[in-house]
Structure 1
Amino acid sequence: MNHFIDVEVQSGDLNQTLRSFLDAKDHLHFSELAFYHYYSFGGTDTKAAEILGAGIELLILSFDIFDDLEDEDSLDEPWMKMNRSVALNAATALYTLSIKVISSVSNEPLFLHKLMEYTLQSMQGQHDDLSNRPATEEECLDMIKRKSGSLTALPCVLGTMLATGEFNPAVESYACQLGIASQIENDYKALFYDSKSDIAKKKRTLAYLYLTRKFNQASIDLLNIFENEDKIADIEIKCYKEKLKEAGVTQYMYVMNQLAIQKFKKGVAELELGEMEKRRLVASILNEF
């Protein structure tokens, strides 16, 4: 990935800034999704797959940076320690570079169309998240599907298209479910992050919207706690976890996560691939996510 930065970004300071952003990236889950699908569907051009994977990781990194700047999260990351205008411009350069790299592997109009479709869908989902628009659990799941599901579908669909030359709607469908499952798990974990607490920001997450249905006294107690940041700080973690279970939040988030995973597995099972290949695809993907 540094190779593409060096080739396309001649500004020395911006080059070094982007390299520092890249150095902070500690996983390559999305490029792996592209590789798994490319090779599962018969792809043989290793160089093309590597270019696609590199471009996708640059894209995901740019989205991660945008997300942190917008949410004021991950304060230890290099882009959060510099002038925000400089960081925003660098992230925009990274995004633009990623589109150029990804689009270089295919001349098919539909390939570029799907790339831009997924990025735009994710941006729309992010807008609704930042605007705190979801008013129901259904609306929240739709927002998650557009924000996270689209970005997860992107490497899966493009990897498949690079191998076959065709768009596979079944891949798009189950990949979106994988993105939903991953986001639900992340949102549950975020309930325990002081620095990234959606609770403190009073965001309408799936957990929060579930609580607003006030199924029991524990739900009401948690809502009262969430309305007061001092109470959030005072509550002990063990008591907090027990309250979440008593209110049904823990069980609800687990069930919603598992439902999405089962839809993902069902979608893979319906692919026109050998049984061994389908089992390998599921195992590899779930190991990453």
Structure 2
Amino acid sequence: MQGVAEMIEKEAVKMQMKEIVTASFSVPSLKESVLTSIEEHTKQSDFLFGRLAGVHYQIFSENMKETERIAASVELMMLAGDMLDDLVDQDSLETTWNKAPLTTSLHIAIGLLLAGQKAIVDLLIDDHKKAKAQLYISSRLLQSVNGQHMDVTYDIQTEAEYIEMVKKKSGSLVAMACFVGTALADAEKNTVIIEKYANDIGIAAQIDNDMDALYRWDEKNDIKAKKKSLPILYMLTSKRDNLLKQYFSNHVDYNELYVQKEKVIQQMEQEGAFYYAKVMSQIYKEKALQEIEKLDVNDRYKSALKMIIL
């Protein structure tokens, strides 16, 4: 069997993204920057959101037509979100959007967000289905904005608060991708199940991203911004003294901590902070897999979804 997931080829989705951008941006310099940004995004991303949107459309419509266009539309919106997130956090400083003047970076991000939404509107699919998809896009993007703000401004103290923030920040985006596909297929009856596994996939992905950021101090500003991810919370509740405790209690400043970054990572590994986060990520992935099994669809479609998560 050729699985549904393999049918959504990354290179084909990238070409659709570029086609949408070429038709949407008329100023040559801006268009060139956007196309370069797509190339950079392709190298860094597995297109999780776009593939989820495309696969859900295929699952519930059993239709291959428009699948790659749907995946590309959603992936453009996700790239816009990544750009805005990087600009706020001052992460990924070597990317096109962060090296460009702020006004250009904002034009790229906002343009991509609008181009992705317009591409949904332009699909050769019934208008009522596209209207439902647009409602999911706006509602879940707003929910994610609230989660992003919590991440930046809230003083998260507990694991429960962290999970709630991540549900809003990341789970809502995964749900958006899944629901765009189901709405365009005009499928509604599995909504509760999809919501559950979308949240679980989003939480697992965010935990993985947070762990990755802790190893990439020169590219990510999570520690400098004192974001309390799962491994950080683990270290702050440890009975042993450690450099992160000293930093978060303002006994050590960031420059002093950065000089000892290898020791910080070593302490986190020795204390089991990364191991704990990996276990929690796997737990949420397993929860998602269990929910997928409850879908009222053919087993080959369930397998396609599981391949994306794993």
Task: With the length of structure 1 as denominator, give the TM-score of the two structures.
Answer: 0.88
Match of 2:56 among 25, 37, 45: 37
Does residue 193 (structure 1) correspond to residue 219 (structure 2)? The answer is no
How far residue 45 of structure 1 moved from its aligned partner, in angstroms, is 4.2
Measure, in 2, the Cα distance between the counterparts of 1:221 and 1:232. 7
Give unmatched runs, 5+ long, in structure 2. Answer: 1-16
Deviation at 1:244, TM superposition (A): 1.3
Counterpart for residue 66 of structure 1: 84
Aligned twin of 1:139: 161
Aligned to 1:229: 254
Query: Residues of 2 paired with 1:209 and 1:236: CA distance?
Result: 17
- Residues in 2 aligned to 1:12 and 1:70: alpha-carbon distance in whole angstroms: 26
Offset of residue 133 of structure 1: 4.0
Q: Residue 203 of structure 1: SS of its match in structure 2?
A: coil
What do residues 38-83 of structure 1 show as CA deviations (whole Å, max 9, x unaligned)? 223343142x222211111110111111011111110110011111
Residue 303 (structure 2) aligned to one of 279, 286, 289: 279
Kindly provide the amino acid, as one letter, of the partner of residue 101 in structure 2. Answer: N
For residues 167 and 257 of structure 2, what CA distance do their matches in structure 1 show?
29
Deviations 1:157-211 (A, max 9, x none): 2212222443622112201210110110110121111221422222222222333
Superposed, 1:209-224 pairs within 5 Å as 209-213=233-237, 215-218=238-241, 220-224=242-246
- Confirm or deny: 8 A CA contact 2:137 2:176 kept in the other structure: yes
**Corresponding residue SS for 2:185:** helix
> Could you say which residue in structure 2 is the equivalent of 1:262?
286
What is the alpha-carbon distance in structure 2 between the residues aligned to residue 102 and residue 176 of structure 1? 23
1:14 aligns to what? Answer: 30
Return the alpha-carbon distance in structure 2 between the equivalents of residues 183 and 164 of structure 1.
Answer: 29
2:144 to 92, 98, 122: 122
CA distance 1:40–1:74, shift in 2 (3 Å): same
The residue number in structure 2 matching 1:171 is: 194
Whole-angstrom distance in 2 between the partners of 1:84 and 1:255: 39
Kept in 2, the 8 Å contact 1:140–1:206? The answer is yes
Other-structure match for 2:268: 244
2:243 and 2:29 map into 1 onto residues whose CA distance is 51
Residue 82 of structure 1 is matched in structure 2 by: 100
- Mapped pair 1:160 → 2:178: no
Distance 2:22 2:50 in 1: 20
Q: CA deviation at 1:92?
A: 1.0
Asked whether the equivalents of residues 207 and 281 of structure 2 are also in contact (C-alpha less than 8 Å), the reply is yes
- Distance in 2 (CA, whole Å) between partners of 1:21 and 1:251 is 34
One-letter amino acid of the counterpart of residue 232, structure 1:
L
Report the AA paired with residue 27 of structure 2. Answer: S
Counterpart among 205, 215, 231 of residue 207 in structure 1? 231
Query: Please, which runs of 5 or more residues in structure 1 have no aligned partner?
Result: none
Deviation of 1:34 after TM superposition, in Å, equals 1.8
Matched residue SS, 1:194: coil
Give CA-to-partner distance per residue, 1:12-32, whole Å, 9 cap, x none.
332222222222222333222
Q: Is residue 2:21 matched to residue 1:5?
A: yes
Query: Would you say the 8 A contact 2:144–2:169 is kept in 1?
Result: yes
Seq. identity, %:
30
- The one-letter code matched in structure 2 to 1:233 is Y
Aligned alpha-carbon RMSD (Å): 2.2
Letter in 2 for 1:52: I
Equivalent AA in structure 1 for residue 35 of structure 2 = R
Query: 1:241–1:16: structure 2 CA closer, same or farther, 3 Å change rule?
Result: closer
1:36 Cα shift? Answer: 2.1
Partner SS, residue 223 of structure 2: coil
CA drift at 1:216: 1.8
